[in-house]
Structure formats: structure tokens, C-alpha cells
């Protein structure tokens, strides 16, 4: 069984992955499968992980969270059933919102090993976690493991380890919420530079991992996914950090996928993080049709080497209950909302906005629309509804 790596980088927005800020991840991406619009399944960690690791719609996260017993992710169960060991190397405390049980089962039932150092600073914890994983790769023979790596330095308030020299300046010395970033352009730029510096530090850690993959002979034989759990906004569309709106900055994530035997390619296409587990399982011969809501990327390849179209859903909510979501398809994004008080029993769904993929609204304030936006949605309605299978229509 080829080793599998699922590397989740906290709050990694797509446009931060540049040769200037993240040279190692950029170079890695160039030889990987990448997509112009890799969409997270939720704009906060717990929704995102639920879609990514469990392959489920985050709309149901709250109900899953409150189930009396958790068996963990069906996807990880399937990977164990074909003989994999599941190994977690994590900086964040995944106990928040019961996430660790939801993904890895109660008391980590699906986990074979777990490394979560006690060091108090997240950036130093990231360093230790990467060091422990690279040591494991050096000392153990390749094959048979699913390595889940979760790194945190890029989370608000954007950190880096001792000895790292930040190069993007002027940068904020902290990420105090006392500043009025929405109007204070200088403070916002300094905060963004702080984020760039943390991404640059993160890139060094990813570089250590890539070196270890190369030197242990795993780079070309493993399935490798490196992804942001969601993006991060800096008031481009009115709000900052994440969990706050469904703008492109929070939805588009840094993402690269390697499948042994598939040469690197960039697709002008939507990709949903919900498809990561179906893709991994397809590579080891497990058909997830009927088991997971996503589709494998392998099933999207056409004979001409292109990809069939895909739409993606991204959820937003309050605490554990999602009620608002984006449907990204073609060159459009619909922002839809269910009854906030009781979204699972909602009797109506409200179309809040129609935007392009840069989150520019195609609807004017006077409710007229930029040529044909409403009309095209009405024309697309069968497509739209087909892509909301979680609703009882």
C-alpha cells in the first residue's frame, strides 16, 4: 500500500502560495495536480475537517457532534479496512467541537499513533511535529501508512518560530483585534505582512517535509495532499480572518495533490476538498460511490486529459450549526441561506447574492442585475438543485 500524506495547513489562502512567499510549496505545486479553484467545504476548521476527512456535508456537523457514540470517519475506517495504519501528527488541539472524535473515533479509536507535543507555542509545536514526522519517515520502511499532519502557525495571530527572520515588512508585532483594520489601511497591510511571514515560516517546515519525502523515496510513490483547511480574509469583502463571510479569500485554499503515475498539471476547474478522501480511496481500489458524498478526481478525467465540471459547496454557520453556504460552479458563486434558527427543517432557501469567482457581486443594490445574472441562475436552476443533494426538495 502506498503511503498517504494529508497535510493540513491552517488558514492557508490560495494566493499566498507564490514563489516569493512560499517557494518550496510553489515548486512542489508545479509538479502536482492543482486547480484554479480548490474550494474548502467550510470556512472554519471543524466544518472544513468534517468535509475533508469525513467526506460529509458540514450542514450536518452539529447533529454528528451530538451523537452519543462516534465511530469516526467512514473514509478512515475504509482505509484501515484495506490495511492502513492511521498516524496523526498534530499541532492544534482537535478536541474543539469534538472534532477529534468525529474524525478519528471516540478516544482515537481509528488512530494507530498520535503525536501532539505539549510545547505551549504553536509555531514551536509545528517545528516539533514536522521533526517527529521526518524522523519517522527516516526510520520506518515506506508503505502502509496514512500520515495526517496538521500545522497551525498560519492561524490568526500568525506566528513563526524562534530564530526565523521575517522578511516581509513593515509587519505588525501582534494581531491585536483592538485595531480598526477595516478602515486603517496601514494596520491592515502590516497585519497581512505578518501573515505572509508566518506563511514563509510554514514554507520552511513544508520544505523539511518535502526533503524527507524525497530522501526516503516516498515523493513519487505516495499519494500526497497539501491543503489549507480554509482561507483567510483581510477585509477584502468587509470582514477579516475566517468564519466571517463566504468571499473568495476564505474559500480558495492553497492546494496540491500528487497521485503516483500522474504527471503534474494545472486544471482551470473547481475542485472540492470533499473529493480528497474519494480520490485517495480510488487510488487504492476502493469505490466510495454511495459511501461518501464527494467524487474522486480520477473519475473526472476525460479521455482528452481534461476534467469534467464540478461544483463545490462551502458552509458557514454559528458554532457547530451551519446555515449559510456558497455553491461554486462554472464561473459563478451563489450565496444561499437556510432559516438560521432551524436550518435542517427550513421551508425556504434565500438567494443572498450572485457573484463571480472573485466575489464581485453580479447584483446591483437596486436589485437589477449585471447582464442576466438572475436569468442565468434561473436557467441553471436544475443544475443548482442537482448540486444540493442534502436538501429534501
Q: Which residues make up the interface to Zn ion (CB under 5 A)? A: 10, 45, 229
CB nearer Zn ion, residue 11 or residue 288: 11
CB nearer Zn ion, residue 10 or residue 337: 10
CB nearer Zn ion, residue 8 or residue 384: 8
CB nearer Zn ion, residue 229 or residue 252: 229
In angstroms, give the least distance from the CB of 144 to Zn ion: 29
Reading the block at residue 185, the C-alpha cell is 489601511
In angstroms, give the least distance from the CB of 229 to Zn ion: 4
Q: What is the dihedral of CA 138, 141, 143, 146, to 10 degrees?
A: -50
User: Is the CB of residue 151 less than 8 Å from the CB of residue 88?
Assistant: no
CB nearer Zn ion, residue 45 or residue 359: 45
In angstroms, give the least distance from the CB of 116 to Zn ion: 16
CB nearer Zn ion, residue 8 or residue 59: 8
DSSP string, 332-360: EEEEEEE-TT-GGG-S-EEEEEEEETT--
Burial annotation 337-349 (CB, 10 A radius, 16+ → b, else e): bbeeeebbeeeeb
In angstroms, give the least distance from the CB of 145 to Zn ion: 24
User: Is the CB of residue 67 less than 8 Å from the CB of residue 75?
Assistant: no
CB nearer Zn ion, residue 226 or residue 281: 226
Cβ contacts of 262 within 8 Å, gap of 6 or more: 33
- Beta strands, E only, the chain: 4-9, 33-39, 85-90, 113-115, 145-151, 223-228, 233-234, 240-241, 255-258, 265-272, 312-318, 321-329, 332-338, 349-356
In angstroms, give the least distance from the CB of 10 to Zn ion: 5
Q: What is the dihedral of CA 69, 6, 35, 382, to 10 degrees?
A: -10
DSSP assignment, residue 294?
S
Of the candidates 273, 393, 390, 267, the residue with the CA atom closest to the CA atom of residue 328: 273
C-alpha to C-alpha distance for 248 and 190, rounded to whole angstroms: 21
Give the three-class secondary structure for 101.
Answer: helix
In angstroms, give the least distance from the CB of 96 to Zn ion: 10
Beta pairing partners, 363: 369
In angstroms, give the least distance from the CB of 11 to Zn ion: 6
CB nearer Zn ion, residue 231 or residue 343: 231
CB nearer Zn ion, residue 40 or residue 296: 40
Cβ contacts of 378 within 8 Å, gap of 6 or more: none
CB nearer Zn ion, residue 239 or residue 269: 239
In angstroms, give the least distance from the CB of 318 to Zn ion: 16
In angstroms, give the least distance from the CB of 208 to Zn ion: 22
In angstroms, give the least distance from the CB of 215 to Zn ion: 30
User: Is the CB of residue 268 less than 8 Å from the CB of residue 330?
Assistant: no
Query: Which residue's Cβ lies closest to Zn ion?
Result: 45
DSSP assignment, residue 147?
E
Amino acid at each position: 500500500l502506498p503511503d498517504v500524506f494529508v497535510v493540513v495547513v491552517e488558514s492557508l489562502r490560495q494566493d499566498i502560495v507564490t514563489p516569493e512567499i512560499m517557494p518550496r510549496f510553489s515548486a512542489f505545486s508545479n509538479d502536482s495536480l492543482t486547480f484554479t479553484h480548490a474550494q474548502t467545504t467550510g470556512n472554519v476548521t471543524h466544518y472544513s475537517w468534517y468535509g475533508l476527512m469525513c467526506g460529509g456535508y458540514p450542514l450536518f456537523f452539529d447533529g454528528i457532534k451530538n451523537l452519543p457514540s462516534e465511530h469516526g470517519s467512514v473514509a478512515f475506517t475504509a482505509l484501515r479496512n484495506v490495511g492502513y495504519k492511521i498516524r496523526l501528527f498534530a499541532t492544534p488541539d482537535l478536541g474543539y467541537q469534538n472534532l477529534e472524535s468525529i474524525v478519528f473515533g471516540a478516544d482515537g479509536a481509528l488512530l494507530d499513533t498520535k503525536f501532539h507535543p505539549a510545547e505551549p507555542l504553536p509555531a514551536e509545536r509545528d517545528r516539533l511535529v514536522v521533526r517527529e514526522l521526518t524522523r519517522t519517515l527516516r526510520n520506518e520502511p515506506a508503505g502502509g501508512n496514512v500520515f495526517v499532519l496538521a500545522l497551525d502557525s498560519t492561524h490568526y495571530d500568525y506566528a513563526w518560530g524562534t530564530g526565523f527572520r521575517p522578511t516581509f515588512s513593515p509587519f505588525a508585532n501582534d494581531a491585536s483585534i483592538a485595531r480598526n483594520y477595516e478602515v486603517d489601511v496601514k494596520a491592515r497591510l502590516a497585519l497581512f505582512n505578518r501573515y505572509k511571514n508566518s506563511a514563509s515560516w510554514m514554507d520552511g517546515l513544508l520544505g523539511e517535509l518535502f526533503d524527507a519525502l524525497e530522501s526516503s523515496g516516498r515523493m513519487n510513490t505516495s499519494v500526497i495532499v497539501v491543503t489549507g483547511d480554509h482561507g483567510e480574509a483581510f477585509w477584502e469583502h468587509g470582514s477579516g480572518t475566517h468564519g466571517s463571510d463566504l468571499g473568495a479569500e476564505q474559500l480558495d485554499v492553497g492546494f496540491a495533490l500528487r497521485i503516483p503515475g500522474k504527471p503534474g498539471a494545472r486544471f482551470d476547474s473547481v475542485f472540492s476538498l470533499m473529493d480528497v478522501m474519494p480520490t485517495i480511496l480510488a487510488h487504492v481500489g476502493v469505490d466510495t460511490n454511495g459511501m461518501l458524498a464527494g467524487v474522486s478526481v480520477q473519475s473526472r478525467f476525460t479521455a482528452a486529459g481534461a476534467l469534467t465540471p464540478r461544483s463545490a459547496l462551502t458552509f458557514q454557520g454559528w458554532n457547530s450549526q451551519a446555515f449559510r453556504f456558497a455553491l461554486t460552479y462554472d464561473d459563478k458563486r451563489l450565496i444561499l441561506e437556510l432559516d438560521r434558527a432551524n436550518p435542517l427543517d427550513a421551508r425556504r432557501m434565500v438567494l443572498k447574492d450572485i457573484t463571480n469567482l472573485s466575489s464581485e457581486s453580479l447584483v446591483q443594490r437596486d436589485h437589477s442585475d449585471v447582464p442576466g445574472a438572475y436569468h442565468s441562475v434561473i436557467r441553471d436552476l436544475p443544475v443548482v438543485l442537482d448540486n444540493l443533494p442534502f436538501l429534501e426538495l
